Amino acid sequence: MTWWDAVNFGDNQQAKKENIDLIESNDIFGTPKPEKLVEKLLHIATNPGDLVLDSFLGSGTTAAVAHKMGRRYIGIEMGEHAVTHCAPRLRKVIDGEQGGISESVGWKGGGGFRFYRLGPPVFDEDGHIRSDIAFPVLAAHIWFSETATPWTVMPRTPFLGIRDGRAFALLYNGILGDRRADGGNVLTRATLALIRAAIAEADPTFAGPVTVYGEQSRLAAPTLDREAVTFKQTPYDVRARR
């Protein structure tokens, strides 16, 4: 209970009951918020279509209410209840559950959500690439920062893919099986040939420009120009944002 009128907005006890009804679990959260209270807050602070962020999602009330109120939302939760409570609760909302504010907002069901698991952090507190980052994690980050699309391929070569007529490759962390300090992480004629071979295998007709990330380039500027290769150096050219 708070100074906000519990009769109008409900209290933790009412929310616990909502949770019991919704998630059919004895393992109920300590102080869940009633849907009515979150509805009031979203009415005050947002309009339909706005994006609501709850970075401590808990039992998922914010996301459930935002969904029923036609707001978009992002919920972040580090506990396993993201899987055992939040996602099932949202699926019930989509199926048209009639608890909480459903009746008062005329909720009939519909819509959808996407569920993602965050990968390990790429950067340390100082903005440097973490030294223990594995190839697929850095590759996914670079691909997203270059193309704004998720990277789903799992190649065994440095070639990451082609997007909008440009090919991308990453020489990092022994992807070529050469873990020497200046081995598989350096752009040379030999590593470029391997990248070209992987591109040709994926798309034999490809003749566009290539962006290669690596620790160092041994190719001179005129060669890079002739080959239409843009070299970007790890870690300096790897951006945290697009």
Ligand X SMILES: C[S@@+](CC[C@H](N)C(=O)[O-])C[C@H]1O[C@@H](n2cnc3c(N)ncnc32)[C@H](O)[C@@H]1O
Judged by the rule CB under 6 A, the positions of this chain that interact with ligand X are 32-33, 54, 56-59, 61-62, 76-79
Query: Taking the complex as a whole, how short is the minimal distance between the CB of residue 145 and ligand X, in angstroms?
Result: 23
Choice between 38 and 194, CB closer to ligand X: 38
Query: Taking the complex as a whole, how short is the minimal distance between the CB of residue 30 and ligand X, in angstroms?
Result: 8
Choice between 56 and 144, CB closer to ligand X: 56
Query: Taking the complex as a whole, how short is the minimal distance between the CB of residue 56 and ligand X, in angstroms?
Result: 3
Choice between 53 and 190, CB closer to ligand X: 53
Quick one: how far is CA 51 from the chain centroid?
16
Length of the chain: 242
Choice between 4 and 56, CB closer to ligand X: 56
Query: Taking the complex as a whole, how short is the minimal distance between the CB of residue 181 and ligand X, in angstroms?
Result: 36
Beta strands 166-170 and 159-163: pairing type? Answer: antiparallel
Beta strands 51-54 and 72-75: pairing type? Answer: parallel
Residue nearest to ligand X (CB): 58
Kindly report the number of other CB atoms within 10 A of residue 182's CB atom. Answer: 11
Choice between 78 and 228, CB closer to ligand X: 78
Which helix (H) or strand (E) segment is 108 a member of?
A: none
Query: Taking the complex as a whole, how short is the minimal distance between the CB of residue 29 and ligand X, in angstroms?
Result: 7
Query: Taking the complex as a whole, how short is the minimal distance between the CB of residue 99 and ligand X, in angstroms?
Result: 15
Choice between 6 and 202, CB closer to ligand X: 6
